[in-house]
Amino acid sequence: MDTEILILVLSFFFLLLLNVPIAICIGLATVLTIFSLGDVPTGYIVAQRISTGIASFPLLAIPFFVLSGILMGEGGMARRMIDFASAAVGRYRGGLSYVNTMTCMMFGSVSGSAAAAVSSIGGFMIPEMTRKGYGREFSVALTTTSATTGLLIPPSNIMIVYAVVAGNVSVASLFMAGVVPGILIGLLIMAAAWFLNPKDVQAIEKPASGAEIGRTFLGAIPSLFLIVIVLGGILGGVFSATEASSVAVAYALLLGVVVYREIKISDLSRILLKSVKTTSIVMILVGASQAMSWVLAYESVPQTVSDALLTISENPLMILIIINILLLVVGTFMDMTPAVLIFTPIFLPVVISMGMDPTHFGILMIANLCIGLCTPPVGTCLFVGCSVGGTSIGKVIPPLLPIFIAMVIGLLAITYIPAVSLWLPNLLGL
């Protein structure tokens, strides 16, 4: 390994162990590495790469989708989705577990945040499932894993980040490619819940009437209509993905303030400040990661990794297994956004050389890192779920493992059956 790459790796992990914020870890490690190159103007390169890294039109969608997600989260959408899911699937034995998963899928996709889905849905569903005899730890495990499916179902900020880093990848194509994988993993989580449900747990209540299902559906449909507006507008050529994000904000604001009336005008300053903080973190990460990507390219790291993987095996199936394992390991200690920013430039050239579609790889990577959101020591959703449920990670792990297996089965299907991701984009000509 070259001295410069050794400096990059060691400084990055040393800072990470000191609990330095990930964006600062990436930035400082990059500065130290460029400085060690000697004949390269360190300050100029870092400043240039950070500024050009965030000067991207698709990235403008992120602050708007973040804001629309927060507005959706605080505007009463979660309760209406829970009511609809309860009426639709609550009649079956163990129905609350299916309600939990179904609601997390819907809310995660509308809000664009897995952590928001855990806190919003889990705040109601975990106590309710515990009271009905499902067990606190199982309820936390189910909520934590179900919430991640929303990151695969559009609109999704992480897909925009991947599209920017990968280059020449359509955001609209990624959005549509995530629909079937997100639903598939959600159904597999429901299947795991069916096996894990306590045998003495019955249905929530008597079956809902057609009128009740219709009433709750009408209550939830304004929230779900956000997805229709965003995707319909993009696919119909009415607006771009970036312009769709501003439409999403206007619609979420109308819904929360005027229709549901659960957001007050006085709340908007706090909501705006919250969205600015979240956006700032993402933008710093993107800028710092673009500088690190320059270092990786300068030192020919992608080519080195590609050659190393090909020396292990020339079988594409085996190489994809290795990449999946590496990403699963990465997901245990690194959050999704920095992982996508750092490892996309490394692994994407490898899979493209094997003939893999970059859109397919993007969905594979996001599905893989979704599992990392539920794994210690850095699983964001796991920590939020344990906090909401009032339990510890150690107690949640046993019921979590079977659900992990279901998610890995979904990951393998996404990996080795390209049509799972590409069927819908190809059907729509994207």
DSSP 16-55: HHTT--HHHHHHHHHHHHHHHHSSS-HHHHHHHHHHHHH-
Highest mean pLDDT: which of 150-159, 316-325, 408-417?
408-417
Query: Is 97 a residue whose pLDDT tops 90?
Result: no
Contacts of 408 (CB under 8 A, 6+ apart): 371
Distance CA 84, CA 363 (A): 28
Place of tokens 């507008």: 233
Distance CA 103, CA 108 (A): 8
> 20-62 pLDDT, tens per residue?
887 788 888 888 888 877 666 666 667 777 777 777 777 788 8
The reported pLDDT for the residue numbered 412 is 94
- CA dihedral sign of residues 376, 143, 156, 278: negative
Q: How far from chain centre, in Å, is Cα 289? A: 18
Query: Is 184 a residue whose pLDDT tops 90?
Result: yes
Distance CA 179, CA 421 (A): 8
Quote the pTM value: 0.82
> 262-276 pLDDT, tens per residue?
888 888 899 899 888
| Residue (of 354, 323, 318, 322) closest to 339 by Cα position | 323
Distance CA 121, CA 104 (A): 7
Mean pLDDT throughout 203-230?
Answer: 72
The reported pLDDT for the residue numbered 414 is 95
The reported pLDDT for the residue numbered 306 is 74
| Pick from 39-53, 140-154, 221-235, 296-310: least confident | 39-53
Distance CA 17, CA 86 (A): 44
Distance CA 94, CA 105 (A): 18
Of the pLDDT bands very low, low, confident and very high (cuts 50, 70, 90), residue 242 is confident
Is residue 316 reached through a cis peptide bond, with omega within 30 degrees of 0 on the bond before it?
A: no
> 279-299 pLDDT, tens per residue?
888 788 888 877 887 787 777
Q: Return the amino acid letter for 393.
A: I
By the 8 A CB rule, do 108 and 149 touch? yes
By the 8 A CB rule, do 351 and 88 touch? no
| Pick from 9-13, 151-155, 237-241, 353-357: least confident | 237-241
By the 8 A CB rule, do 402 and 408 touch? no
Q: Is 181 or 96 the better-scoring residue by pLDDT?
A: 181
